[in-house]
Chain A
């Protein structure tokens, strides 16, 4: 204990003085009486007078002394020093991804353990500390407040049914608190995630224990030339023991027992005949604590063939290359139709309307490959080796259709594609509003008249050309594909207005179109979706969860001891003079009452 004003304690010298004063014999009391006649006749005994009386116990004096003593102590301002920490901010990122659903007991999930650990952490805080809680996952949310509010918030959060990117959340947290004082950041997860450059900023609280989880981490389907399929499956075994698991393909007779080694086991199911099914579902028949990864599916969105129209003269090399592409239906016609096809090749003959966007239109494929440029959107500031200006981001509206006849007979105003006045061949590709421009000039032969279509002499050129085509027809591929939670699933344009229903809760969803004109859908939950377009209905099977969602570090959780130890502690003075002031007043009241009674 100490005193703010210790000099006031010198006033306590008044206490013995007070005591002595009460012993001091006072002067005679002055009394006026009508007549001293009688008193004058009484003999004055004149007893011995001492300056000091004999001390006697005086309860009034006792309380008077206590009044003075309490008042002196109150003036001296006593205090005690207590330890205190400066206000701090505690930020907790809680991994709310699906793997946190793994059960650690019959009644508790990893997520429950995570919440308990966070509650312990918050409980150790002072009332003046700030708490921020972030949860990752499709149910991500944020809280900032005091510890009381944090407890209420923790009771409301829940774990999602998908994977979540904890790394992004942690990095954003670091950015938002950079420069903050007395900040402690915690990551609560069942995975020891590498957070990259912010790795050292987070104190890990790992929850989870030994799990019995085995699940499918990857699935891909490859169509063979014979029309059958090879199915590639990766199985993750996180139990710590090699286990035999039954594997089967739904709606088929295909099943086998697979030895799942500890870690990832890959296997191939070869030559699988799935008939006309649009969905391949691979299932591990096993009960474990994380069942969302016990099944995976690959689905086919678009089962039709690529339709190619070649109008005009049949370019044998080009037609041969297209015919070599699987699922491609090539039509050679003398009628320059402008709809109903995915790829249009106009040789010499042009329709009145050139299809725009979403399809590939090849007009006057060059005969001279050397002036043909593959590529994406080209830059107008760039010039190729031949000095040709490479165009970029050309809007379709800038294209003017010029009459084909003028091409054949020379430059004409109509039916010839020109871009910025330069007649070129235009290749539209499905990259949205930007035009994939293959920039080349019409050769002098093409411009100068006569037949402007030449058959190139290098089939390799056409093979590359077709390969380029193939690479751009992603959305038409009738292969099986798998979808992952949180990853955009690109859809063909015909599904732009499709309706999608999540079968688990009948939630209605829609695809979205991004700024590049791409149609996509992002599933946020594991399970089955049904997509309906105008004349098509498809099932989408959404799988996990990245590989490490099933991972289990196998370690027990621990809140590191003394995480706040290095925070600066201070000793604060806690005054308590008010108690002595109250005592002093109380004793004064008692003295007043005693005086009244004594008088």
Chain B
């Protein structure tokens, strides 16, 4: 599979990973993860070669006519846990070097791919200039569509993250596993986020900040403009102010950690200057988001 986000080596590495859903949701028959057994569901998943014991009725005769080979069509089980990836593409994400937004898109793409390879149903929820957008994908073959969609995704200025969360909640009626990738500058959104924990759904918060946000360097008299509003403040930034900022930032991060802990959510802090592969292979696994 060719894509513009990852190279094939990286994809081969993360193919072995699985999204780890700790909760046993009522709709899940096996209680863990979406089974890979072929079910009677109507959702086609993929083909596999016929082996002795397979039911003949699942042989795709059209494929046989073309290829003279026997192939079985597999369908997803109806009782798989839906995965929702909520990507913050608000203006505040378009910041930093490397860009937070690109980092977030790559994370979303990686999580989606891992899920798709595991035959999970992935729904990506985000904002666009026309409002809320959600799109579902299933099966490994749809990974390229995910990559294309995320590659061409742009910053939206029309809908805020908390609204995306609210809208996601409204479509995820049966619950599921929610991954929210954002910079979480707005603490007001916590009340919307915690609503996602209904029906024993699992929520993972992936907190992304750029190095410039973690350690700002500009000093002197500065007029600070908010990227998502027209407001600005003037501050004189000296050493004292930087120390104070650092303290406040740590408090802010802690605040989200506590919030996550309180509502049994997974939380990881992933600054963009971290190596991306390390974030996937180490941080997310340490946070029990992946295994």
Contacts and interface: CB of A to CB of B under 8 A. Distances in A.
Given A38-B248, A45-B241, A33 B223 contact: no
Given A33-B226, A34-B183, A35-B227, A42 B221 contact: no
Contact of A41 (B185, B220, B221, B248): B248
B234 to A, nearest CB: 6
B225 A30 contact: yes
Nearest to A34: B92
A37 B256 CA distance: 15
A40 interface: yes
A308 B233 CA distance: 145
A490 to B, nearest CB: 114
A31 B218 contact: yes
A14 to B, nearest CB: 27
B222 A36 contact: no
Interface residues of B, number: 36
Contacts of A37: 185-187, 252
A599 interface: no
Contact of B236 (A30, A35, A38, A47): A47
Given A39-B235, A45-B238, A34 B213 contact: yes
A31 B249 contact: no
Contact of A28 (B95, B187, B221, B244): B221
A49 interface: yes
A38 B252 contact: yes
Contacts of B186: 35, 37
Contact of A32 (B93, B227, B233): B227
B130 to A, nearest CB: 23
Contact of B95 (A33, A36, A46, A49): A33
B183 A42 contact: no
A36 B233 contact: yes
Contacts of A27: 221, 223
Main secondary structure of the interface of A (DSSP, over half): loop
B2 interface: no
A13 interface: no
B174 to A, nearest CB: 34
B245 A38 contact: yes
A44 B95 contact: no
A33 B218 CA distance: 11
Contact of A31 (B223, B240, B245): B223
A281 to B, nearest CB: 115
Nearest to A30: B223
B127 to A, nearest CB: 16
A34 B185 contact: yes
B129 to A, nearest CB: 19
Contacts of A31: 218, 222-225
B66 to A, nearest CB: 53
B232 interface: yes
A46 B234 CA distance: 9
Nearest to A32: B225
Interface residues of A, number: 21
Given A29-B221, A35-B227, A37-B186, A45 B240 contact: yes
B245 A42 contact: yes
A27 B221 CA distance: 8
A434 B205 CA distance: 141
B277 interface: no
Contacts of B216: 33
B227 A33 contact: yes
B236 A44 contact: yes
A341 to B, nearest CB: 131
B195 interface: no
A47 B210 CA distance: 29
A28 B223 contact: yes
A284 B187 CA distance: 137
A35 B185 CA distance: 7
B228 interface: yes
A36 B244 CA distance: 14
Interface string A18-62: 000000000111111111111111101111010000000000000
B221 A49 contact: yes
Nearest to A40: B233
Nearest to A49: B221
Given A34-B95, A38-B245, A29 B222 contact: yes
Interface in B61-111: 91-93, 95, 100
Contacts of B91: 34
Contact of A33 (B100, B225, B238): B225
B101 to A, nearest CB: 10
A33 B209 CA distance: 12
B231 interface: yes
Nearest to A35: B185
Contacts of B225: 30-33, 36
B249 A36 contact: no
Interface in B240-270: 240-241, 244-245, 248-249, 252
B226 A36 contact: yes
Contacts of A29: 218, 220-223
B228 A35 contact: yes
B54 to A, nearest CB: 54
A49 to B, nearest CB: 7
Contacts of A41: 248
Contacts of A32: 224-227
A29 B91 CA distance: 21
A40 B252 CA distance: 13
Nearest to B91: A34
A537 B235 CA distance: 128
A36 B245 CA distance: 11
B236 A45 contact: yes
Contacts of B218: 29, 31
B241 A34 contact: no
Nearest to B93: A34
Given A29-B222, A35-B228, 5 more contacts: A33-B227, A34-B92, A34-B213, A36-B233, A38-B245
Q: Which 4 A-B pairs have the closest CB atoms?
A: A35-B185, A34-B92, A28-B221, A28-B223
10 contacts: A27-B221, A28-B220, A29-B218, A31-B223, A31-B225, A33-B225, A37-B185, A38-B245, A44-B235, A49-B221
Interface of B: 91-93, 95, 100, 183, 185-187, 210, 213, 216, 218, 220-228, 231-236, 238, 240-241, 244-245, 248-249, 252
